[in-house]
Amino acid sequence: MDEFARRPAADRRAFIEEAASRRDLTPIVIEKDFWVCWTLRRLTTTPELKDHVTFKGGTSLSKAYGIIQRFSEDVDLTIRRDAPLIDQIAQPMERGISGKERDRRIKALKAAAQAYVETVAMPSLTKAIEAALGTTEGWNVELDPEDKDLQTLLFNYPRTSEDFPRELPDSETLVPTLSVVRTYWEKATLLHSLHHKGALREGLSRHYYDLVMLDRAGVTAEALARPELLAAVVRNKSLMFADKAASYDTAVIGQLRLLPAGTTVALASDYVAMADMFMAQPPPLAELVETIADLEKRLNEPAA
């Protein structure tokens, strides 16, 4: 992969455009997908990072589990408790502490996470990318100015694997990844919060698609067998991302709400706008909505 990444832009472009043609995708999706995979390699081989982060989110469902067939340019990571700076903060999830002490620890943890991203992750990743590309020109790593939590890095890559195995002989990477069942409950509780908030922001229809694909892969049965993971997800979101409008206290078996409140007009519009991001034909909107409705019913049925 590194040899391909170091090739002249025109050389890379020829393969990217051919891969896009073969898969009936836009070249920009193919190019971004390559750099997502390439960046994952950096994250899992950089000593300062590889033992302290866990891959999660929609991209993990695509790259690690092969459950969804859509492109995602975000690499979502959980910073582990043993990471530098993070390991100095007392556990805010500890039971029995006062609300004031929990708030203090949460603020301290967020500050430590910000410091880890800026002073450990960013310089380490930058150094690893420079070593792999052999140049400092044509790319950069920076903090995302739009992330108010200051925990997002942007890799502005220099402007493709299964289609050209000879060109990318070392394209596979082992990545520590969040449990697919945990991700299932993360997605379900997100849809629950969207229902109660009543507004669907741009780009969020992907989460409905993701949950449908998780269900098709048989993960619902596994999730129902692990209700303690749902409780853990709800507890974490309630404490770390407190939001009364999300109604996390009702995110329990028997009360889960997955469909958008009211009509599905906003969902339909956003789903259509996502068309270029799918690498295989997604379920039609009517089927997507029908499956989510059925899934909501199944999740809320009393255990036999």
Residue with tokens 């289609």: 163
| Angle CA 36–41–45, to nearest 5 | 150
Asked if residues 90 and 51 have their Cβ atoms less than 8 Å apart, the reply is: no
Query: What span, in angstroms and rounded, lies between the C-alpha atoms of 176 and 155?
Result: 21
The CA–CA distances, whole Å, from 131 to 90, 95, 174, 253, 270 equal 36, 45, 20, 49, 40
pLDDT value of residue 21: 85
- Paired residues of 53 in beta bridges: 79
Both tokens assigned to 33: 């997908």
* Res 11: pLDDT: 87
Q: What single DSSP character describes residue 303?
A: P
Q: What is the pLDDT along the chain (304 residues), one digit of tens a residue?
A: 888 888 888 888 888 888 888 878 888 888 888 999 999 999 989 999 999 999 999 889 988 899 998 887 788 999 999 999 999 999 998 999 999 999 999 999 999 999 999 999 999 999 999 999 999 999 999 999 999 888 999 999 886 444 445 555 555 667 678 899 999 999 999 999 999 998 788 889 999 999 999 999 999 999 999 999 999 999 999 988 889 999 999 999 999 999 998 888 999 999 999 888 888 899 999 999 999 999 999 999 876 5
CA 300 to chain centre: 26
**CA–CA separation, 17 and 23 (whole Å):** 10
* Cβ proximity of 74 and 57 under 8 Å: yes
